[in-house]
Amino acid sequence: MFYTTTYQSPVGLLTLASNGEELIGLEFEKQRYPGPFHAEEVVLKDDLPVFDKAKSWLDRYFEGQAVTYSELPLAPAGSEFRQEVWRILCEIPYGEVSTYGEIAKQMAARRGIPRMASQAVGGAVGHNPISIIIPCHRVIGSDGSLTGFGGGLPVKKKLLELEGVDSPVKPANDKATPQ
């Protein structure tokens, strides 16, 4: 059984999901890839301590404070490959961006292989079940373009502006690259 609650943010209504102890999902209202908790029995429960912590984290984040994922108990469900990509996302500092290509290079180095496809990384980034907290919005195209994002490009742009990213550059087609 999973539990959910909602949070009204400056970028729209967010749904938080938990296994009772850890946060397993944070989704936008019209998320491109819904989290795995949708396949299970879900109960609305606003008063879990993990939800209180997550809402406090989100309050501080949207006030412009540099918060980190390590402040929360997270349990994103995904393959070993996706988990590894998500760990790299968590290493992107507040107010900075990385590219799919840079992350692919990091993944290749960690795995001891000559190279990795940026598209494979894009797929993992696009299936991040805990958006914002695991900062997939900090990943941009190699040409500096704002590429696809589960919450939509306007939301991605707003999150980056909130973090003080001067010019996440130029917008791209919202359907281009997953999250």
Residues 52 and 89 in one domain: no
What whole-number distance in Å separates Cα of residue 169 and Cα of residue 117?
23
Residues in the chain: 179
Residues 39 and 90 in one domain: no
Residues 14 and 65 in one domain: yes
- Min mean pLDDT across 3-7, 29-33, 95-99, 144-148 is at 29-33
Residues 9 and 49 in one domain: yes
Q: What integer best gives the mean pLDDT of the chain? A: 88
At residue 74, the 3 state secondary structure works out as strand
Residue 19 lies in a domain: yes
> What pLDDT is attached to residue 160?
94
**The tokens 């550059």 sit on which residue?**
169
How much is the average pLDDT of 63-80? 94
Provide the pLDDT confidence category of residue 23 given band limits of 50, 70 and 90: very high
Residues 102 and 165 in one domain: yes
> Which of 72, 104, 107, 136 is labelled catalytic?
136
Do the beta carbons of residue 151 and residue 12 sit within 8 Å? yes
pTM of the entire predicted model: 0.88
Q: For residue 8, is pLDDT > 80?
A: yes
Q: Which domain covers residue 49, as residue numbers?
A: 2-71
> What pLDDT is attached to residue 169?
53
Q: For residue 78, is pLDDT > 50?
A: yes
What whole-number distance in Å separates Cα of residue 178 and Cα of residue 125?
7
Residue 30 lies in a domain: yes
The domain total for the chain is: 2
Q: Pick the residue with more confidence: 28 or 170?
A: 28
> What pLDDT is attached to residue 41?
81
Closest by CA to 107, choosing from 93, 127, 131, 123, is 123
Residues 142 and 100 in one domain: yes
Give the strand order in the sheet containing 42-44.
Answer: 23-28, 12-18, 2-9, 42-44
Each residue's pLDDT tens digit, 119-155: 999 999 999 999 999 999 999 998 888 988 888 899 9
What whole-number distance in Å separates Cα of residue 160 and Cα of residue 139?
10
DSSP 130-143: BTTTS-GGGEE-TT
Has 90 been annotated as catalytic? no
- The CATH number of whichever domain residue 11 belongs to comes to 3.30.160.70
Residue 177 lies in a domain: no
> What pLDDT is attached to residue 42?
83
At residue 98, the 3 state secondary structure works out as strand
* Tally of CB atoms within 10 A around 142: 12
Q: For residue 170, is pLDDT > 60?
A: no
- The CATH number of whichever domain residue 87 belongs to comes to 1.10.10.10
